[in-house]
Amino acid sequence: MSELFGTLSDGTPVHRWTLERAGVRVGVLSYGGIVQSVEVPDREGRSADVVLGFADLDGYLEHPGPYFGALIGRYANRIAGGRFELDGRTYVLASNNAPNSLHGGENGFDKRVWDVEPVEHGVRLSRVSPHGEEGFPGRLEISATYTLDGSGALRIAYEAVTDAPTIVNLTNHSYFNLAGSGNAGGHELRIAASRFTPVDADLIPTGVEDVTDTRFDFRQARGTGAGYDHNFVLDKGITPAPVEVAELYDPASGRVLTVATTEPGLQLYTADHLGEPFGPGGGVALETQHFPDSPNQPRFPSTELRPGGVYRSETVYGFGARS
């Protein structure tokens, strides 16, 4: 079902679509493709909202920087210096995370109103990003389909086509707090990644390193703690269908989140700098993606999309509880 969630200053209405199946209830906004809420039961059967979000549109408009629950594009994560070269031409982007471009620029996909249509067990969001939007080349036609499967898992499937060579890297930026409130620092995390991409002072990758004997080794579940805004190189690489790569567990409530994806990378962000109303460590972001700054780092998996090709990416968030 859908309902009016708010109205932008130019009069554009924003709607919330509610998906419900197998005891899971999800709210999705036409503004920013935002996952506004995910209500799931704990080990005692008590439901709580496990993603950070707001009860009204004003909350998102007043706090755009953390990208709460948003669909991120055209390029998730950072591009060094706000520029990249493609086919011998240099493209200059907004340096909205100086000196870098972050999450698609000043007015990325997270700040756009999407067309929404119902599909079986979910909704399909779509829009056209015109050539030159935020400095990116090519007219890009994008869709993101949000559905709940029979187990109550939230599946997000992205597709895009272009009329000119461009780059694409899409993700969802939900912050998970499986306790439903408070600090998420006590959650336990497992990531199927033997390598990660260390970063410089501007959070741009400097290469690929092994996680062994470092604080980046989450191959066995352990507390998330703080101090992470890093991309993990998933052992499975790029896959045609989603493969489970991570598990987040809250011992207090018993809630479990599993993440399966087709993507080669997973950005772990422990939200150390998150401001009001949630505060530092209020949630954990697990962003499935290609690697940061891939357009400027030829050794990384390519994010180029060309006419005649189709960008496809799929991530599944599964929910459960342990006794």
User: Which amino acid, one-letter code, is at 110?
Assistant: D
Distance CA 13, CA 125 (A): 15
Look up the CATH number of the domain holding residue 225. Answer: 2.70.98.10
The DSSP-derived string for 1-36 is -EEEEEE-TTS-EEEEEEEEETTEEEEEESBTT-EE
Q: Which of 219, 234, 208, 211 is nearest to 290 (CA)?
A: 234
Adjacency order of strands within the sheet including 154-162: 115-119, 122-129, 140-148, 154-162, 311-321, 255-261, 243-249, 188-191, 222-223
Q: Is 287 a catalytic residue?
A: yes
Average pLDDT over residues 39-52: 98
Exactly one of 103, 173, 230, 290 is catalytic; which is it? 173
- What one-character DSSP code corresponds to residue 59? H
pLDDT in tens, 88-116: 999 999 999 999 999 999 999 999 999 99
Q: How confident is the model at residue 1 (pLDDT cuts 50, 70, 90)?
A: confident
Q: Which residue has the tokens 């991530």?
A: 315
* Residue 173 burial by Cβ neighbours in a 10 Å radius (0-12, 13-18, 19+): buried
Could you tell me what percent of the chain has a pLDDT over 70?
A: 100
- Strand-pair partners of 243: 261
Say yes or no to pLDDT of 53 above 90: yes
Q: Which of 317, 276, 323, 322 is nearest to 38 (CA)?
A: 317
Contact 93, 135 (CB under 8 A): yes
Side-chain half-sphere CA neighbours of 50 within 13 A:
30
Q: Is 173 a catalytic residue?
A: yes
Q: How confident is the model at residue 275 (pLDDT cuts 50, 70, 90)?
A: confident
Average pLDDT over residues 180-202: 97
Side-chain half-sphere CA neighbours of 291 within 13 A:
26
pLDDT in tens, 149-187: 999 999 999 999 999 999 999 999 999 999 999 999 999
Identify the domain containing residue 81 by its residue range: 2-321
Say yes or no to pLDDT of 86 above 90: yes
Say yes or no to pLDDT of 78 above 90: yes
Average pLDDT over residues 141-148: 98
* Residue 125 burial by Cβ neighbours in a 10 Å radius (0-12, 13-18, 19+): buried
Structural domains in the chain (count): 1
Mean pLDDT of the chain: 97
Average pLDDT over residues 8-34: 98
Distance CA 31, CA 38 (A): 17
pTM of the full predicted structure?
0.97
Q: Which residue has the tokens 């790569």?
A: 245
- DSSP3 helix / strand / coil % (the chain, rounded to 5): 5, 45, 50
Exactly one of 39, 287, 290, 314 is catalytic; which is it? 287
Say yes or no to pLDDT of 132 above 90: yes
Q: How confident is the model at residue 276 (pLDDT cuts 50, 70, 90)?
A: confident
